[in-house]
């Protein structure tokens, strides 16, 4: 784990497959953009902060995923920092019960066990109609990019460096991804397109890269997700239940399901592709002897 200077007072922590940006207010105080993953990154981030004698005064979160807000409460307890987050994401991670809204296919005890550490208290809610936020007297611009998660945002620092979060993934991540995640793919694709109009001097993609220009990456991301949807569409033969589709996708995409948590994740990922195919009019839902089945629209 190390610190990379991006531009002006904007830096980022390189942590394995993740870049975590931060903005330096002065020699000591920093505002983090996301707080990273607890399991694999907490110790490294903590050591790096100590070594540089940094005090985290605030965390602005792009979205409430486990690898982005995993150290919020840990850092809040340690530094009494402010947490700012899109309002809906903040509500989702405000309690274990609310987290269950998002992880609806897991039991409450499993949610508590695996995601309980994500629960945090947000001090500043960022609303849908807000396109900037002042945190500790510093203005950050906000671009709403829902889809990857319900209220995902991109955050631009005063140095004109945009943190894209998970709205895009790098080519490296695309190459290793069998079925990339989107909560609502239809919205996610619209948000990716929105980025064509975001003109900044640098862009940080969480997983992961630093770019001067992202036009090509946006197009490649859109095509990558659309092609995955197409590949799933091809596998739908006749009339299939969601479970039937899941089974054939797991086999054909060669996805290794080693435990039930991976299974529930894949199930959730697949659902957004199937919904996308349905919403774009390629497949229809029908009731068949009490089962909900999906089939291609006859063309
Ligand atoms: Zn995410």
Q: How far is the CA of 255 from the centre of ligand 1 (A)?
A: 20
Residue 284, strand partner residues: 295
Residues near ion ligand 1 (CB < 5 Å) are: 65, 166
Phi, psi of 159, deg, nearest 5: -85, 10
Supply 204's token pair: 């940080």
67 Cα–ligand 1 center, Å: 7
**74, two tokens:** 């840990």
How many Å lie between the centroid of ligand 1 and the Cα of residue 296? 30
What was the pLDDT predicted at 299? 63
CA pair distance 236, 250, nearest whole angstrom:
13
Measure 118 CA to ligand 1 centroid, in angstroms: 13
**CATH 3.60.15.10 fits domain 2-225:** yes
Residues near 152 by beta carbon (within 8 Å), at least 6 away in sequence: 62, 63, 86, 89, 144, 145, 146, 165, 166, 167, 191
Judge whether residue 156 has pLDDT over 90. yes
Residues 6 or more apart whose CB falls under 8 angstroms from that of 247 comprise: none
19 CA to middle of ligand 1, Å?
13
- Ligand 1 mean position to 148 CA, how many Å? 6
Q: What is the mean pLDDT of the chain?
A: 95
Q: Which CATH number fits domain 236-296: 3.90.1070, 3.30.390, 1.10.3470, 1.10.10?
A: 1.10.10
Nearest alpha carbon to residue 95 among 109, 81, 112, 79: 112
How many other C-beta atoms lie within 10 A of the C-beta of residue 113? Answer: 12
Q: Where residue 169 falls among pLDDT bands split at 50, 70, 90?
A: very high
Q: How far is the CA of 14 from the centre of ligand 1 (A)?
A: 17
pLDDT at 185 over 90: yes
Residue ranges per domain, the chain?
2-225, 236-296
Q: Give SS3 for 63.
A: coil
Q: Average pLDDT for residues 134-154, to the nearest whole number?
A: 97
CA of residue 138 to ligand 1 center, whole Å? 25
The CA distance from 100 to 95, in Å, is: 9
pLDDT > 90? residue 104: no
- Provide the pLDDT for residue 100: 94
Ligand 1 centroid distance, CA of 69 (Å):
10
Distance CA 198, CA 214 (A): 9
**Residue 293: band (very low, low, confident or very high) from pLDDT cuts 50, 70, 90:** very high
Q: How far is Cα of residue 293 from the mean position of the Cα atoms in its chain?
A: 30
pLDDT over 80 (residue 36): yes
pLDDT value for 258:
87
Q: In what order do the strands lie in the sheet with 29-33?
A: 2-7, 10-15, 18-24, 29-33, 55-60, 82-86, 124-126
- Judged against a pLDDT cut of 80, whether residue 63 lies above it is answered with yes
Q: pLDDT-derived band of residue 227, with 50, 70 and 90 as boundaries?
A: very high
Q: What is the Å distance from ligand 1's center to 217 Cα?
A: 18
Q: How far is the CA of 290 from the centre of ligand 1 (A)?
A: 35
Q: What percent of the chain has pLDDT over 70?
A: 100
pLDDT in tens, 77-95: 999 999 999 999 999 999 9
């Amino acid at each position: 784990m190390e610190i990379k200077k991006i531009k002006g007072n904007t830096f980022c922590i390189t942590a394995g497959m993740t870049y975590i940006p931060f903005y330096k207010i002065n020699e000591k105080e920093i505002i983090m953009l996301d707080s990273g993953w607890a399991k694999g990154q907490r110790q490294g981030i903590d050591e790096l902060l100590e070594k540089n004698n940094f005090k985290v005064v605030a965390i602005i979160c792009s979205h409430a995923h486990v690898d982005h807000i995993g150290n919020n409460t840990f850092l809040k307890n340690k530094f009494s920092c402010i947490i700012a987050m899109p309002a809906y994401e903040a509500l989702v991670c405000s309690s274990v019960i609310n987290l269950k809204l998002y992880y609806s296919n897991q039991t409450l005890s499993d949610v508590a066990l695996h995601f309980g550490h994500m629960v945090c208290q947000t001090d500043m809610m960022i609303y849908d109609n807000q396109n900037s936020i002042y945190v500790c007297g510093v203005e950050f611009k906000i671009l709403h990019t829902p889809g990857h998660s319900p209220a995902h945002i991109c955050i631009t620092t005063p140095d004109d460096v945009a943190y894209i979060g998970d709205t895009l993934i790098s080519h490296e991540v695309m190459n290793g991804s069998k079925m990339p995640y989107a909560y609502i793919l239809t919205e996610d694709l619209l948000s990716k397109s929105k980025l064509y109009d975001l003109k900044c001097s640098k862009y940080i993609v969480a997983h992961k890269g630093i770019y001067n220009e992202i036009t090509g990456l946006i197009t490649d991301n859109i095509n990558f997700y659309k092609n995955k949807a197409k590949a799933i569409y091809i596998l739908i033969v006749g009339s299939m239940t969601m479970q039937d589709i899941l089974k054939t996708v797991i086999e054909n995409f060669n996805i290794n399901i080693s435990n039930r948590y991976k299974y529930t994740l894949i199930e959730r990922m697949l659902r957004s592709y199937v919904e996308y195919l349905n919403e774009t009019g390629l497949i229809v839902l029908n009731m068949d002897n009490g089962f909900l089945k999906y089939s291609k629209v006859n063309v």
